[in-house]
């Protein structure tokens, strides 16, 4: 089969997005087994999925400028190689510390992978097909989310948690081969710019301290870290406006459509990302199910998202993407309203309804929101736009899991998660869902801000 350039780019983006999410989503099923092997308490245990996302958040903006300067294809290959190395190394972990270090390295690879894959699609695919192409890329994300719980649950239950990491290795190698032999072109948009090292130090340290402090708000050190982190992020924003070759073009935020869509993305992932972990803990600790059965249940949401994403992408080429995004978030809010009352007596059919609503809502939201962000900037700025939307996603996901860690630590202290503390797990989960419902409502309104904007950066206006 002979693949043209656009098809090859979309296929590579699909594969890389798929396997990055496959491990990110699947590791949730392996968390109890990993924590048991290394003797982690509930606070450290919650950092297993969180730490990689935190690193992605730190490295996303540098990845945007680096990929634009040296080439998005080259950056994507490097990102996949880093991710591949860390996946192999994670299998060889012998302690909590070594495992978390390799998760950090995985996060670095994921940052370059996320930014470069999306930017390459936008650069290679014609504007009239962009929503459809982005839809397929997002489908890879959701298809991975749908397969991952079942497949990773099976692997963990029958072969151990390391099998999850071994499984991705041949596919990552395949992805590298496709990029080398099927995509001869390279895309560079910031070739003459200098790498903004100082700006990235302000940003990286700032976001690291802010999110770490967020997870430790019950302690004085957490408050101090948040304050210092916010100061550094403000300095970063001011510095980027003044520097000749900024690592991120802050002027993009003058575009209300770009700004509001990014805020909506941040709020949506902050509100929704923790639900998978909450449901997994509910199934394994409150109901006493094993990882395999829990995975079968968790497949509901991502399967629906995988079906919705490409169709929502096609719709976003015809209907204003921000309108679709707002409708999607409104539906997703109903999920959290149901999960507020989640306890040991909750009927299974109600949980399934909640997961279905989440799948429909996020499926309608994500692709149109991405299209709104990417289509609101000129072609030269697509790496920056890709970095921004990736940063909003990962920061939101990290803060969501950080919120989970914070609430669980506040209610449970340093106790290890187990069935004997099911009551406290329920209490913690319900409080998280209450907070996330409020955030979800904010995301609905953020999706609609700037809907009639005609800012100078908008290169495409949906009807």
pLDDT tens digit string along 234-288? 999 888 888 877 777 788 888 888 888 888 889 998 998 888 889 988 998 899 8
More confident residue, 156 or 142: 156
In this structure, which long-range contacts are made by residues 31-39, counting pairs with CB atoms below 8 Å and at least 24 apart in sequence? 31/277, 31/280, 32/284, 32/285, 32/291, 32/417, 33/156, 33/160, 33/161, 33/291, 34/99, 34/161, 35/416, 35/417, 37/161, 38/95, 38/96, 38/99, 39/96
143: pLDDT confidence band, cut at 50, 70 and 90?
Answer: confident
Within 10 Å of residue 43's Cβ, how many Cβ atoms?
A: 18
Nearest to 173 by CA among 11, 52, 16: 16
Q: Report H helices in 96-196.
A: 96-124, 130-159, 162-182
Q: Three-state SS for 341?
A: coil
Q: Residue 50 and residue 405: Cα distance in Å, rounded?
A: 9
pLDDT at 458: 45
Higher per-residue pLDDT: 21 or 234: 234
Confidence of residue 451 (pLDDT cuts 50, 70, 90): low
Computed over every residue of the chain, the mean pLDDT equals 82
Identify the band that residue 230 occupies on the pLDDT scale cut at 50, 70 and 90. Answer: very high
Q: What's the pLDDT at 450? A: 63
Quote the pTM value: 0.71
Q: How confident is residue 151, by pLDDT bands cut at 50, 70 and 90?
A: confident
Mean pLDDT of 362-389: 78
How confident is the model over 216-225, as pLDDT tens digits?
887 888 899 9
Q: Which of 134-148, 195-209, 328-342 has the highest mean pLDDT?
A: 328-342
Which pLDDT band, with edges at 50, 70 and 90, does 191 fall under?
low
* Per-residue pLDDT at 335 exceeds 70: yes
Distance CA 358, CA 146 (A): 13
Terminal Cα-to-Cα distance of the chain (whole angstroms): 37
Q: What mean pLDDT comes out for the span 285-302? A: 84
**How much is the pLDDT for 462?**
37
Predicted confidence at residue 3, as pLDDT, reads 61
- Which helix (DSSP H) or strand (DSSP E) does residue 9 occupy? helix 5-38
């Amino acid at each position: 089969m002979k693949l043209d350039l656009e098809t090859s780019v979309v296929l590579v983006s699909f594969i890389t997005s798929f396997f990055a999410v496959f491990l990110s989503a699947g590791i949730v099923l392996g968390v109890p087994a990993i924590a048991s092997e290394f003797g982690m308490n509930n606070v450290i245990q919650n950092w297993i999925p969180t730490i990689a996302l935190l690193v992605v958040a730190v490295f996303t903006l540098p990845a945007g400028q680096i990929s634009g300067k040296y080439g998005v294809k080259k950056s994507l290959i490097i990102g996949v190689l880093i991710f591949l190395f860390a996946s192999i190394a994670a299998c060889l972990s012998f302690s909590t510390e070594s495992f978390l270090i390799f998760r950090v390295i995985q996060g670095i690879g994921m940052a370059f992978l996320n930014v470069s894959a999306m930017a390459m699609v936008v650069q290679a695919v014609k504007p009239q097909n962009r929503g459809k192409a982005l839809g397929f890329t997002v489908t890879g994300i959701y298809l991975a989310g749908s397969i991952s719980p079942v497949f990773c649950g099976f692997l963990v239950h029958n072969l151990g948690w390391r099998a999850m990491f071994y499984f991705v290795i041949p596919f990552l190698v395949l992805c590298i081969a496709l990029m080398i032999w099927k995509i001869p072109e390279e895309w560079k948009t910031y070739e003459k710019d200098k790498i903004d090292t100082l700006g990235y130090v302000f940003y990286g340290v700032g976001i690291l301290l802010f999110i770490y402090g967020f997870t430790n708000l019950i302690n004085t050190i957490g408050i101090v870290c948040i304050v210092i982190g916010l100061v550094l992020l403000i300095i970063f924003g001011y510095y980027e406006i003044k520097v000749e070759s900024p690592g991120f073009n802050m002027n993009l935020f003058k575009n209300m459509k770009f700004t509001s869509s990014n805020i909506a993305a941040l709020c949506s992932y902050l509100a929704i990302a923790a639900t998978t972990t909450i449901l997994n803990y509910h199934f394994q600790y409150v109901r006493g199910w094993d990882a395999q059965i829990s995975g079968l249940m968790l497949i509901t949401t991502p399967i629906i998202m995988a079906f919705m994403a490409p169709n929502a992408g096609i719709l976003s080429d015809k209907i204003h993407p921000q309108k679709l995004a707002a409708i999607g978030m409104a539906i997703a809010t109903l999920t959290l309203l149901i999960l507020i009352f989640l306890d040991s007596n909750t009927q299974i059919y109600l949980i399934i309804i909640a997961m279905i609503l989440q799948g429909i809502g996020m499926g309608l939201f994500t692709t149109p929101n991405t299209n709104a962000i990417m289509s609101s900037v000129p072609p030269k700025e697509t790496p920056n736009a890709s970095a921004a939307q990736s940063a909003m996603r990962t920061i939101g996901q990290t803060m969501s899991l950080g919120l989970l860690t914070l609430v669980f630590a506040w209610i449970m202290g340093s106790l290890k998660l187990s069935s004997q503390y099911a009551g406290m797990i329920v209490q913690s989960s319900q409080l998280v869902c209450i907070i996330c419902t409020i955030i979800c409502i904010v995301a609905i309104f953020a999706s609609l801000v700037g809907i009639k904007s005609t800012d100078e950066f908008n290169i495409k206006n949906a009807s």
